[in-house]
Amino acid sequence: MHTDIPPISATSTAKEPITNRIYDSILEDIRSGKLEPGQKLKVRELTSEYGGSTGSCREVLNRLAGERFVQTKGMTGFSVRDLSPEDLIEVLDLRDQLESQALVQAIQHGDTDWEEGMVLAFHRLERERIREGTSLIEREYYHREFHLALIGAHTSEWHQFFIRTLSLHSERYRRILLPKRIFEPDYVRVVDEEHELIMRLALERRAEEAAEALKKHRSRSRTDLLVALESR
Amino acid sequence: MHTDIPPISATSTAKEPITNRIYDSILEDIRSGKLEPGQKLKVRELTSEYGGSTGSCREVLNRLAGERFVQTKGMTGFSVRDLSPEDLIEVLDLRDQLESQALVQAIQHGDTDWEEGMVLAFHRLERERIREGTSLIEREYYHREFHLALIGAHTSEWHQFFIRTLSLHSERYRRILLPKRIFEPDYVRVVDEEHELIMRLALERRAEEAAEALKKHRSRSRTDLLVALESR
DNA sequence: AACAAATTCAAATTCGACTATTTCCTGATG
DNA sequence: CATCAGGAAATAGTCGAATTTGAATTTGTT
C-alpha cells in the first residue's frame, strides 16, 4: 500500500517507478469491481490494459498478493480475491473491533491537532459530496480520510495499517454490491448525519457513545450487503 | 505468507515456482536476523545468495513488501524493515489484544477438535524441545503452531492472518535481541510451565484466567526486549 | 575553502524473449 | 456414452541484457 489517490492530482513531476502507477490502477479496478472477484488475472492482458511489461505486472501482482487483494497458488497464476459472506462478516467484525478501540483511545488522548484534523476532514467530505465534478473515487477517498482522521495520527502504525487494509476490503464489497445506493439522496443524508454525530461526540470526549455511534454507522449497511451478496 | 516450514520436509513432488523457495529462504533470514534490520537488499547480491534471477528476486521482495517485512520507497530499492522501540511496543500490544480476544472466543465456542489440537500441539512442542537434533527454526515453528492451536481453527481467517503476521514480526525481535535466552534451561522451563498453564485453563474453560495467563506469558519478555533494543 | 555543475559508476528498474507447466481439445477405446 | 491419453495451444514462470536512475566523485568557479 504505497501511496494513495491524491485529492486533486497535482502536476507531479516526481520520479516514480511505473509499477506504482500500475499498482494504483489495478488496485482501483479491484476495489471498484471492474476486475471482478474470482476473475483470472492474465499477465499478458494486464500489460496491454495497464501498460508495462510482464515483469512489471507480475511485481505488482505479487505486492497485491502480499496485501491479499489477489490470490495465487502454485503455478496457476493470479486471480482477484473472492467475495463470500464469511469473509464479509470477518472483515466487518474485525474492522469494527479495531476501529472502535482506536476511536476510544483517540478520544482519551487526542490533542488539538486531532480535533482540527477531524473538523477539516469532515468539512472536505461534505464539500466534495455537494460538488458536481467529484468522482466516486475521490468521494471514497475523502470518506476514508474522515474515518482515518477520527482515529487520529497517534494511533499506532500497525493499527492504522490493519484498519486501512480492512477498510479497502470492505469498500470493495460496498462498491460492488451496492453501487447505486451511494448516490441516493436519502442515503447520503443519513450517512452525513451519522458522520456529524460521531464527530460531535468525539469532540465532546464522550468515548462510549462515540464508539457506539460508529458501530451503528456500520451495522446499517451490513445487512444490506449480506442480502445483496446472497442474491448473486 | 504462502506456506510454512513443514515439520519434516516430505518428498514433495509438487511443482512449485522457484520464487516460493526464495521467498521462504529470504523470509527465514529476515526473521533470524541474518539479514539485518535496515540492511539494503541489493537484487544482484540476492540472486547469487539465493538463486533465481533479478526478476524472481524482485517478485519475492515485492511480496515481502506487501507483508511489511521489507521497506521500499521510490526508486531507491529495498531494505529490511527497521527495528524500533515504538514498533516493538505496537506489535506486542496489538498482538496481545488480538490474540487474547481470539483465545476467549475459542474457549467459549471451542469443540473437541479444538481441545485435541491444543493437546497435540503442546505435546509436539515439548517433544521437540527435548530432542537433540531439532533446529531453532523447527522449534519456532512448533511454538507458533501451539499458539495457533490455542486460538483454534474457528478463529476467522483475517484474525488468524493478522495474528500470524504480528507473531512473525515479534519473533524477529526475539531472535535478534535475545538469541541466547531461548536456550537457557531456566528460561525454557518457565516458558513450558506457562504454556501448560494456559492450556489447562483453556481446557477447563476458564476464559478470563487463560487470557490473563497469556498476557503474562508475553509481558515477561517484553521488558527484556525493550532493554536489549535500547542498548544497541 | 565553499558551493554548484558535470561526470562517472553502481544499482534499480524495465523489458520481452525463452522455457516450463497447465489447460483445453480431440479422438480412440472400453 | 463416459473416460482416458496424447498433443496443441494458451498461459505461467524464468531469465539476463538494456535502460534509467540515484548517489558519489570530480571538476570548475567564486
The pairing of beta strand B40-41 with beta strand A70-72: unpaired
Q: How far is A109 from chain B (nearest CA, A)?
A: 16
CATH code where residue A41 lies: 1.10.10.10
Q: What is the pLDDT of residue A5?
A: 40
Contact A173, A10 (CB under 8 A): no
Euclidean distance between CA atoms B58 and B230, whole angstroms: 33
Sheet strands side by side (includes A78-80): A40-41, A78-80, A70-72
Number of H helices, E strands in chain A: 9, 3
Q: What is the pLDDT of residue B6?
A: 41
Question: A38, A60, A80: which is the final residue of a domain?
Answer: A80
**Is B8 domain-assigned?**
no
**Is A90 domain-assigned?**
yes
Q: What is the pLDDT of residue A76?
A: 96
Say whether both B138 and B195 belong to one domain. yes
Q: What is the pLDDT of residue A139?
A: 86
Say whether both A72 and A59 belong to one domain. yes
Res. B4: pLDDT tops 60: no
* Chain A residues with beta carbon closer than 8 angstroms to that of B14: 74
Contact A36, B33 (CB under 8 A): no
Say whether both A148 and A172 belong to one domain. yes
**Is A2 domain-assigned?**
no
**Is A110 domain-assigned?**
yes
- Name the β-bridge partners of B71: B79
Res. B69: pLDDT tops 70: yes
Question: Protein footprint on strand C: which nucleotides are under 7 Å from a CB?
Answer: 11-17, 20-23
Which range has the worst mean pLDDT, B15-19, B61-65, B153-157? B153-157
The pairing of beta strand B70-72 with beta strand A78-80: unpaired
Q: How many domains does chain A have?
A: 2
What are the distances in angstroms from CA A159 to CA A18, A213, B47, B91?
29, 20, 34, 9
pLDDT digits (tens, 9 = 90+) for A72-90: 999 999 999 999 999 999 9
Say whether both A97 and A40 belong to one domain. no
Say whether both B190 and B93 belong to one domain. yes
**Is A132 domain-assigned?**
yes
Question: B44, B65, B80: which is the final residue of a domain?
Answer: B80
Q: Do A75 and B16 touch (CB under 8 A)?
A: yes
Q: What is the pLDDT of residue B133?
A: 85
**Is A7 domain-assigned?**
no
Euclidean distance between CA atoms A145 and A151, whole angstroms: 10
Q: Do B158 and A75 touch (CB under 8 A)?
A: no
What are the residues whose beta carbons fall under 8 Å from the beta carbon of A25, sequence distance 6 or more? A50
pLDDT digits (tens, 9 = 90+) for A158-195: 999 999 999 999 999 999 999 988 888 888 889 999 99
Question: Protein footprint on strand D: which nucleotides are under 7 Å from a CB?
Answer: 11-17, 21-23
Q: Is A127 exposed, middle or buried (0-12, 13-18, 19+ CB in 10 A)?
A: exposed
Say whether both B149 and B225 belong to one domain. yes
Amino acid B226 reads: L
Average pLDDT over residues A38-48: 97
Q: Is the minimum distance from the CB of B232 to strand C below 7 Å?
A: no
Q: How far is B137 from chain A (nearest CA, A)?
A: 22
Res. B11: pLDDT tops 50: no
Residues 49-108 of B with CB under 7 A from strand D: 51-56, 59, 74-76
A153 confidence band (pLDDT: 50, 70, 90): confident
Contacts 24+ apart (CB under 8 A), A79-83: A79/A38, A79/A39, A79/A40, A79/A41, A80/A30, A80/A35, A80/A36, A80/A37, A80/A38, A80/A39, A80/A41, A81/A30, A81/A37, A82/A37, A82/A38, A83/A37, A83/A38, A83/A172, A83/A173, A83/A176, A83/A229
Res. B59: pLDDT tops 60: yes
Say whether both B68 and B89 belong to one domain. no
Q: What is the pLDDT of residue A185?
A: 86
Total number of residues shown for chain A: 232
Say whether both B153 and B222 belong to one domain. yes
Nearest to A96 by CA among A207, A204, A170: A170
Euclidean distance between CA atoms A83 and A31, whole angstroms: 12
Say whether both B32 and B120 belong to one domain. no
Q: Do B63 and A62 touch (CB under 8 A)?
A: yes
The three cell numbers of residue B189 are 522451563
Average pLDDT over residues A127-135: 86
Nearest to A67 by CA among B58, B15, B203, B165: B165
At B79, phi and psi to the nearest 5?
-150, 155
Q: What is the pLDDT of residue B172?
A: 96
Which is more confident, A97 or A9? A97
Say whether both B71 and B89 belong to one domain. no
Q: pTM (2 decimals)? A: 0.91
CATH code where residue A210 lies: 1.20.120.530
Euclidean distance between CA atoms B3 and A85, whole angstroms: 25
The three cell numbers of residue A98 are 479495531
Say whether both B103 and B76 belong to one domain. no
Which of A54, A62, A83 to probe the B interface (max B CBs under 10 A)? A62
**Is B30 domain-assigned?**
yes
DSSP B139-165: HHHHHHHHHHHHH-TTS-HHHHHHHHH
Say whether both B154 and B113 belong to one domain. yes
Average pLDDT over residues B213-223: 91
B131 confidence band (pLDDT: 50, 70, 90): confident
Euclidean distance between CA atoms A30 and B42, whole angstroms: 31
Q: Which of B13-27, B46-60, B130-144 has the highest mean pLDDT?
A: B46-60
Q: Which domain holds residue A69?
A: 18-80
Which of B2, B61, B91, B158 to probe the A interface (max A CBs under 10 A)? B158
**Is B11 domain-assigned?**
no
